[in-house]
Structure 1
Amino acid sequence: MMALTGWRRHLTAALLGGLATFALPPAYAVPVLLLAFPGLLWLLDGAATKRSAFLIGWWFGFGHFLLGLYWISFALLTDIARFWWMMPFAAAGLPALLAIFIGAATLCLHVLARRLALRGLARVLALAMLWTVAEYLRGHVLTGFPWNLIGYSWVGFPPVLQSVAVIGTYGLGLVTVAVAGLPALLGDRSESRRRAMGSIAAGLLLVALIGAAGWVRLSQSDGPTVPGVTLRIVQPNIAQTLKWNPAERARNFERLLELTAEPPAPGAHSSTQLASTQVTPTHVIWPETAVPFFLERDAAARQAIGSVTPSGGAVITGAPRVRTETDGTNRFWNSLHAVDGSGALLASYDKFHLVPFGEYMPLRGILPVASIAAGATDFSAGPGPATLEIPGLPPFSPLICYEVIFPARVKDASRRPDWLLNVTNDAWYGISAGPHQHFAIAQARAAEEGLPLVRAANTGISGVIDGYGRPTAYLELGSRGVVDAALPKALDNTPYGRMGDLILVVLLMSFGVGTTIARQTA
């Protein structure tokens, strides 16, 4: 692998990056990382220049994101006549941009390895640190896009996932890359075989200890729920091509009303607390932009919602919001509203972390192109995370669509909620890996914060996740129906919930010390 050059080297790097994608949801084939990252290090062993080191990382990242984010281009199929020209940019352009972060990481590793004479274990630890820094930057630069962080590989393994309550998803990714890179020592002439095998064994033991600690944590949980609260999550499964069709809007709205009014009937995937009984829902949750009208201006729509609202409860729904400014122009928000039985608005929330090119067009003055979801007029951003209170419910933090993907940025830090509510519309991406990845990300947020998370998605996956990141009720992707579920109680605030990514800084410093020690003892 060191001897590979030219297109063979780049193709191998891309294939290794694609292979690493299979560790992520929905596949969770974590052992492939034990091949992908050693392969990346061996390819870097053959890099003689900074340019070649960058390109190896870039091609690895391109293959990784091309396979992991293929589904993003599906959003353009909803109006292919308008957006056909954007297909190459969505399918390959975004992976190409995101791959720059990986290329920068391998470039830095190449430079540091030569200037500091990093070999063996020291170089593996340095790769883990630089990969994590690259992920962190990817999650923050230009509003950030921390999708498919390598730490999400463990969402399918609840005991290991518990570690994010302390070190967060970035921290779990740091440990994951470090352990996954250790087999590279078997091909390193500067390392004895005995030391290489010892390092690999120590890495696997560390993962086992993390899993054992998580298993103990889970075994001590008894799954308490909030008394007197039963949530009905409505999944209408409306195709994106029909969602905003003027001829279908009224029918789509009626479908939501009909599903809301159905008799209590916990589904096959309901929480055990409700599986054997019929409990009348106290509150109803609809997905993002479920209502295609401006509720604050449409009394008839509010009255219709009020007619199916549980007594003393509320319907919480996504809907667009509009305000006419003094100059006669309109501003729009992607919002969430709570409506009571009288049709009154109890509370509202405006999405603050908007999707570039989807809900607004960056540099619109330079790029006079309609955004995919918002059209020619951009959505405005809300003020930020908020904690809402609705009668009969514990206070909660609303998150619209991909606001849930940002670690440590899902709640008002000054007022911790008792649960998280994520309403979304993944119909843009059809039956693909995208909705599965989105649900897994929500599981990680719940485990990080120790807060249950309720998710209502137009086409799925909808459900309830407890504070340990475990689904307690859900509706399958592509199905239509409702699920009635209890609301799990919040756990005590986690270390990550209190300190956020300050813990990551401590971890990176610890790895830096470990790298120095490994370098000196090599």
Structure 2
Amino acid sequence: MGLISVAAFPPIHFVPIVIISFVGLIWLLDGSKEEKNFNRKQSAKVSFINGSFLVGYNFGLGFFSAGFYWIGFSFLVDVEKFSWMMPFAILGLSACFATYIGLVTLITFYLSNRGIGRIIIFSIVWVVFEWIRGFLFTGFPWNLLGTIWVNSNNMIQFASFFGVLGLSLITALTLSSFAIMGYKNKPIIWRLKAVGAPVSLMVLAWIGGVYKLSGVDTDFVDGVLLRLVQPNIQQSEKWKPEKRLNHLNNLLELTNSPSVQGDTVKPTHIIWPETAIPFSLRGTLSPALEIISKAAPKNGALFSGALEITNNQFGEKKFWNTLKVITPENKNFDSYKKFHLVPFGEFIPFREQLETLLIDNKYSALARIDFSRGSGLKVLNAPGIPPASPLICYEIIFTGNVVPANVDEQNRPEWLLNITNDAWFGLSMGPYQHLAAAKFRAVEEGLPLVRVANTGISALIDPYGRTIVQTRLNERNFIDVGLPKAIMDRTFFSKTQALFYRFLH
């Protein structure tokens, strides 16, 4: 059941399939033979494993295995060294995350009986664990249930009030309510009313979205023309020293190409993707900064992801995943250091212990550097453009944590800038699902989103979550676009999110 439900998410978008999977999950839970007040002599562990927990755990194992399969593509970049880890990574991660849904069904079973009460409790507990999934063990809120509506501009407006988790709640309630139709001991009229109530709520959410978007056009900031550069550098080639100059020339060629809007049209700001500059701009490679700064538009700026290497007070090297603002006059105008690092990707948890275990394994993937953690979200400034909230890679997926909380209304960023490198994941569902999560941040915050990816998908999203333009996956291209204005009145979600999210970060 869990496995087929992934077809409702991008890029397939077959939403009706989740009705089948959620109804099946509820019916299996209803059929659980576990006794709520089991005999004290009976092992609690046996009851826990054999009953309601296992119903949800098996669902979760399918859901997360199908939803996370794309992570395995990253182990194929260096097949000889990393491919052996692929099945362990996918199944291991899925097995851990399946525990969340196992706990959902366990708690639901013990707090409710078969009927409407169970549907309500299940929906609430489901969303509580989606929320927990967003911060526990550094957090990985991927494929939240509300994301299935990403293709409906009307439906996703609900997120501007209650976030994607609010949309997850009414979605879970609606999907699971169809299980009531199988309760033959209830009159058909009663069953239809029980299903009709949450369905009506979904319809009202959709109508509210229609009303919110009616007659609303996208307004653009005067005097700003962005060029989003997608160089399409394959991950297996990206960090080869002999390829560095080729990669830089690739970026410069796309940056200096004539605009499709005419030779007289010149971009005011250039944006390159995550770690587009695959070397530190310090020391012997500082001449590269001189070349790059000349590509920055006059009175504008070039935004680029870059590797930064510094030395601490003990002379030890520290590595940072950064976003640089480069201008012709002031080479390093502003910068941001990524703070939400990817476990096992940008740092190894318990590195010393794991290296001890794998010290004799010539295929160990742990012989890598650990990136250092930045200080947190910030407002990024650049000449000739409103301030932005910079987000690198999967920092964009964390609902309620994409705009710095410690700024006043006048200094609040007016757009979201997300640079990423999804080349790790090839032609899989991963990049599409990453973009879907990013769209919800635009709706929640009422801010336009500019997303620039190495191999795609690069996109411009207006503050209502509508896609203005986007590239295809795995294409070398650039797009020249304006910068949409932020919504004048802040969204309800952006005003109240501190109650639910900010204290966790």
- TM-score relative to the length of structure 2: 0.91
The answer to whether 1:391 aligns with 2:378 is no
- Which one of 6, 21, 26 corresponds to residue 6 of structure 2? 21
Out of 316, 325, 335, which is 1:338 matched to? 325
Match of 1:223 among 210, 218, 222: 218
Structure 2 distance, partners of 1:375, 1:345, is 31
Matched-pair contact (CA < 8 Å) for 2:228–2:272: yes
Identity %: 44
SS of match in other structure, 2:341: coil
Q: CA RMSD in A?
A: 2.0
Q: Which sits farther off after the overlay, 387-396 or 321-330?
A: 321-330
**1:318 to 2:310 alignment:** no
Amino acid at match of 1:405: I
CA deviation map 1:55-110 (0-9, x unaligned): 11011011111111111000010112222231122221111111000001101111
Change (3 A) 1:33 1:307: same
Counterpart in the other structure of 1:60: 59
Q: Secondary structure at the match of 2:229?
A: strand
The match for 1:507 is none
Q: Which letter maps to 1:35? A: I
1:261: how far off?
0.4
What's the counterpart of residue 517 of structure 1?
Answer: none
- Quote the residue 1:79 is aligned against: 78
Residue 191 of structure 1: how far off its partner (Å): 3.2
Give how far 1:144 is off: 0.5
Matched-pair contact (CA < 8 Å) for 1:284–1:314 = yes
Deviation of 1:373 (Å)? 9.7
Structure 1 position 190, deviation (Å): 5.0
Paired residues for 1:164-313 under 5 Å: 164-189=159-184, 191-265=186-260, 279-297=265-283, 298-313=285-300
User: Is the CA contact (8 Å cut-off) linking 1:359 and 1:372 kept in structure 2?
Assistant: no
| Residue pair 1:461, 1:477 contacting (<8 A) in 2 also | yes
Question: 1:358·1:373 contact (CA, 8 Å) conserved in 2?
Answer: no
Give the Cα separation in 2 of the matches to 1:374 and 1:441.
29
Range 303-312 or range 35-44, more displaced: 303-312
Counterpart CA distance in 1 for 2:288 and 2:364 is 26
Which amino acid counterpart does residue 132 of structure 1 have in structure 2? Answer: V
Give the Å deviation of 1:345: 0.6
Q: Does the alignment pair 1:376 with 2:368? A: yes
Which residue of structure 1 lines up, in the alignment, with residue 149 of structure 2? 154
1:333-382 deviations in Å (ceiling 9; x for gaps): 11110111246110111000000000000011211279999952200000
1:234/1:287 contact within 8 Å kept: yes
- Separation of aligned partners in 2, 1:95 and 1:30: 22
Deviation of the 1:186 alpha carbon: 1.3
Question: Structure 2 vs 1, CA of residues 278 and 89 (structure 1 numbering), >3 Å: closer, same or farther?
Answer: farther
Number of positions where the alignment pairs a residue of Structure 1 with one of Structure 2: 477
8 Å CA contact retained: 1:168, 1:448: yes
Question: CA–CA distance in 1 between the matches of 2:264 and 2:117?
Answer: 59
Could you tell me how far apart the structure 2 residues matched to 1:278 and 1:432 are?
39
For 1:104-183, list aligned pairs within 5 A: 104-113=103-112, 118-183=113-178
Q: Does 1:458 align with 2:444?
A: no
Which of 467, 476, 482 in structure 2 is aligned with 1:471? 467
Alpha-carbon separation, structure 1, partners of 2:317 and 2:365: 17
Q: Measure the CA separation in 2 of the matches of 1:373 and 1:424.
A: 22
CA contact (8 A) 1:167 1:503 kept: no
Residue in 2 that maps onto 1:427: 423
Structure 2: how far apart are the matches of 1:503 and 1:120? 29
Instruction: Check the 8 A contact 1:305/1:343 in 2, yes or no.
Output: no
User: Which residue identity does 1:36 align to in structure 2?
Assistant: S
Give the letter for the 1:80 counterpart.
V
Provide the rounded CA distance (Å) in 2 between the counterparts of 1:42 and 1:277: 63
Aligned twin of 1:495: 492
Most deviating of 86-95 and 396-405: 86-95
Tell me, in whole angstroms, the C-alpha distance in 1 between the residues paired with 2:229 and 2:367: 27
- Distance change in 2, residues 1:233/1:22 (3 Å): same
Letter in 1 for 2:15: V
Unaligned runs of 5+ in 2: 35-47
CA distance in structure 1 between the aligned counterparts of 2:365 and 2:394, rounded to whole angstroms: 14
Structure 2 residue 345 is the aligned partner of structure 1 residue 348: no
Is 297-306 or 232-241 further displaced after alignment? 297-306
Native 8 Å contact 1:321 1:332 kept in 2 = yes
Partners of 2:96 and 2:263 in 1: CA distance: 51
8 Å contact kept, 1:360–1:374: no
SS at match of 1:485: strand
Residue by residue, what CA displacement relative to the aligned partner does 1:222-254 show, whole Å, maximum 9, x if unpaired? 211000000000000010000001121110111
Distance 2:108 2:145 in 1: 19
